[in-house]
Structure 1
Amino acid sequence: MKYTHTIIINISLPEFVKVLTDYNALKYWQRGFISFEHLSGDFSRVGGKIKQNYNFGKDSISVIQTVTHSNLPYEIFVNYDTEGMCNRQKNHFSQLSENQIKWVCKTQCIPTSLYTRMLTVFMPRVFKKQTAIYLNDFKNYAEKGLSVNNEKT
């Protein structure tokens, strides 16, 4: 399953990249985020890996993020691997004006189990909605300092 989301964020390109690559700030814009663990490499360079841990009600999941291509500040491609699913994300950033960035996020969901295959076939909106939520939450955090946890940033 493939889909694309585009969002406009009203900050400068250097500030955008600073917020995007600040893994200590994930808790402010990723719902359910608990913690991350550095596994290898630099977070924003090819081969960089981190383990991200999430809690969604009764369910906890861990996701391994691997940078597969980096040309910051203009693009970064990452794989997100978890039990049953691999998400490949190609993120492109363009500066529309001094304080306006366009983020195009191209996602490919590759199910690796029968259960997740069924989810992508019968409930594709769930995946698309989750990506849109993360992008909007990032926008609110980057522009206004609003946290998904109602914490001060």
Structure 2
Amino acid sequence: MKFTCSTDINAPRDKVVSIFLNPEKQHHFQDGFISKELLSGTLNTVGAQSKMTYKKLELLETIQINKLPNEFQGLYEHKHTTNTMNVKFIPLSDEKTRYVSEIHYIKFNGFIINLMVKLFPKLFKNQVNKWMFQFKRYVESE
């Protein structure tokens, strides 16, 4: 399953990228986010692996591409899903940035998750849109 979400943020690209890369700010726009623990490599560099802990799940993040402020790609592994997230920050003006996120689910493990994908495919896109909107709102308010 693959989909793309985008939103325009009323803030300069450098500010948007700075907040995107800062795990200390993540709890402001991702529901249930608790922490990001670096397991190997250097934070925010290609090959770095981190454990991302949320109230109801844990993810293993591996950074595949970091050419920010232009592009970022991470691989996210969970016991039930594996996906990539490719993010681009496109400057629309000095004070406006388009945030584009392409999500590609590579693998679903388990009966329940496969059933959810078939019955509620928009659930996954809706969650990404929600977090992107919360990110936009947070960036614009800071």
- TM > 0.5 between the two? yes
Residue equivalent to 2:91: 95
Does the 8 A contact of 1:92 with 1:103 survive in 2?
A: yes
Q: Which amino acid aligns with 1:27?
A: H
Identity score, percent: 26
Could you tell me how far apart the structure 1 residues matched to 2:62 and 2:132 are? Answer: 19
Is the aligned partner of 1:139 residue 2:125? no
1:45-100 per-residue CA deviation (whole Å, 9 max, x = no partner) reads 21112111111xxxx21011111111110000011111110121111111010011
Is the aligned partner of 1:122 residue 2:114? no
Q: Which amino acid aligns with 2:12?
A: S
Deviation at 1:120, TM superposition (A): 1.3
Secondary structure at the aligned position of 2:57 is classed as: strand
Residue equivalent to 1:151: none
Does the 8 A contact of 1:85 with 1:112 survive in 2?
A: yes
Does the 8 A contact of 1:26 with 1:33 survive in 2?
A: yes
Secondary structure at the aligned position of 2:26 is classed as: helix
Is the aligned partner of 1:111 residue 2:108? yes
Could you tell me which runs of 5 or more consecutive residues in structure 1 were left unpaired when the two chains were aligned.
146-153
The two structures, once aligned, show a CA RMSD in angstroms of 1.2
Runs of 4+ in 1 over 4 A off after TM superposition: none
Could you tell me how far apart the structure 1 residues matched to 2:43 and 2:16 are? Answer: 15
Residue equivalent to 1:47: 47
Could you tell me how far apart the structure 2 residues matched to 1:72 and 1:104 are? Answer: 13
Secondary structure at the aligned position of 1:104 is classed as: strand
Could you tell me how far apart the structure 2 residues matched to 1:102 and 1:54 are? Answer: 27
Does the 8 A contact of 2:17 with 2:89 survive in 1?
A: no
Could you tell me how far apart the structure 1 residues matched to 2:43 and 2:133 are? Answer: 22
Could you tell me how far apart the structure 1 residues matched to 2:126 and 2:24 are? Answer: 24
What count of residue pairs does the alignment treat as equivalent? 141
Deviation at 1:136, TM superposition (A): 0.5
Q: Which amino acid aligns with 1:16?
A: V
Does the 8 A contact of 1:21 with 1:43 survive in 2?
A: no
TM-score w.r.t. length of structure 2: 0.93
TM-score w.r.t. length of structure 1: 0.87
Q: Which amino acid aligns with 1:141?
A: Y
Q: Which amino acid aligns with 1:46?
A: V
Deviation at 1:40, TM superposition (A): 1.5
